[in-house]
Amino acid sequence: MANTGEGDQTQVSRHQEVGHKSLLQSDALYQYILETSVYPREPECMKELREVTAKHPWNIMTTSADEGQFLNMLLKLINAKNTMEIGVYTGYSLLATALAIPDDGKILAMDINRENFELGLPSIEKAGVAHKIDFREGPALPVLDQMIEDGKYHGTFDFIFVDADKDNYLNYHKRLIDLVKVGGVIGYDNTLWNGSVVAPPDAPLRKYVRYYRDFVIELNKALAADPRIEICMLPVGDGVTICRRIS
């Protein structure tokens, strides 16, 4: 990011640091988005779930409020009804999805950890949308394989959000491309991976950032080269790549 000479020096350098969460020019600009457009419109149940999550030690994993608002809008724009989520944590993106789909809509939600999902569940229940969620505890890949084998799930999903183990994203993509319908959408989260996708080889990256970086870079290349989808990489949150199946 260029140093424009504006703003205070600490802030500029924070934004040059690899691993800083916001991909925007300044914290002030991000705060402006949250305070002007996101928080005033955030449903009470999502605010409550966000506040519960903020107290959890792994809160860095949660979907940001602006990305939650984006997902909610996207799902409504495409009239999504049958959806899937891989990587639930406490359920912020799950609740954004559950609120966007119709009353008879469905979310197949998978996570290896049920405890965290249960932290957010009271807010989801209070919102009256828990009946849309089919939560499965365990690794997602065997469930996808089972669905592929069954045959009856091919081309049935309107929307799939992938926000789990980054080293498996390409394995997910191989299966999800069959499960999403033509015209349906898969969203891959964290595709800018803390900005590390452009970090020089000797950059001081946190261990987990360094470990997953090459997988994210591989995924980004593979998605860009996949003729079965149209793609759009958005600098929302930590980067999200929207893929529309075209064949």
The residues binding ligand SAM (CB under 6 A) are 61-63, 86-90, 92-93, 110-113, 116, 139-140, 163-165, 168
Closest distance of CB 8 from ligand SAM, Å: 31
Question: Closest distance between ligand SAM and the C-beta of residue 11, in Å?
Answer: 26
Minimum CB–partner distance for residue 146 and ligand SAM (Å):
14
Tell me which residue has its CB nearest to Ca ion.
Answer: 189
99 binds, among Ca ion, ligand SAM, none (CB under 5 to 8 A by kind): none
State which residue, 12 or 215, has the beta carbon closest to ligand SAM.
215
* Number of helices and strands in the chain (H, E): 9, 7
Q: Which of 167, 214 has the CB closer to ligand SAM?
A: 167
How many angstroms separate the CA atoms of 10 and 8, rounded?
6
The footprint of Ca ion on this chain (CB under 5 A) covers a number of residues equal to: 3
Residue 122 or 139 having the CB closest to ligand SAM? 139
Distance of CA 81 to the CA centre of its chain: 18
Shortest distance, position 53 Cβ to ligand SAM, whole Å: 7
Token representation of residue 96: 């954004």
Say how many C-beta atoms besides its own lie within 10 A of residue 234's C-beta.
16
Which of 190, 191, 196, 241 forms a contact with Ca ion (CB under 5 A)?
190
Q: Which two tokens stand for residue 124?
A: 């989801």
Q: Is 189 in the site for Ca ion (CB under 5 A)?
A: yes
**123 and 49 in contact (C-beta within 8 Å)?**
yes
Between the two ends of the chain, the Cα-to-Cα distance in Å is 37
Question: 3-state class of 179 per DSSP?
Answer: helix
Which residue in this structure is represented by tokens 């916001």? 22
Of 158 and 163, nearer to Ca ion (C-beta) is: 163
Binding range to Ca ion, per CB under 5 A, among 34-42, 107-115, 184-192, 199-207: 184-192
We find the least distance from the C-beta atom of residue 247 to ligand SAM, in angstroms, to be 27
Span from 113-121, 155-163, 174-182, 221-229 in contact with Ca ion (CB under 5 A): 155-163
User: Residues 164, 84: contact at Cβ < 8 Å?
Assistant: no
Residues making up the chain, counted from first to last: 247
- In angstroms, rounded to a whole number, what is the distance separating the alpha carbons of residues 153 and 139? 18
Question: Which of 244, 176, 170, 177 lies closest to 214 in space, CA to CA?
Answer: 170
CB of 139 to ligand SAM, least distance (A): 4
Among residue numbers 91 through 150, which ones bind Ca ion (CB under 5 A)?
none
Backbone angles phi, psi at 39, to 5 degrees: -60, -40
By the criterion CB under 5 A, which residues form the site for Ca ion?
A: 163, 189-190
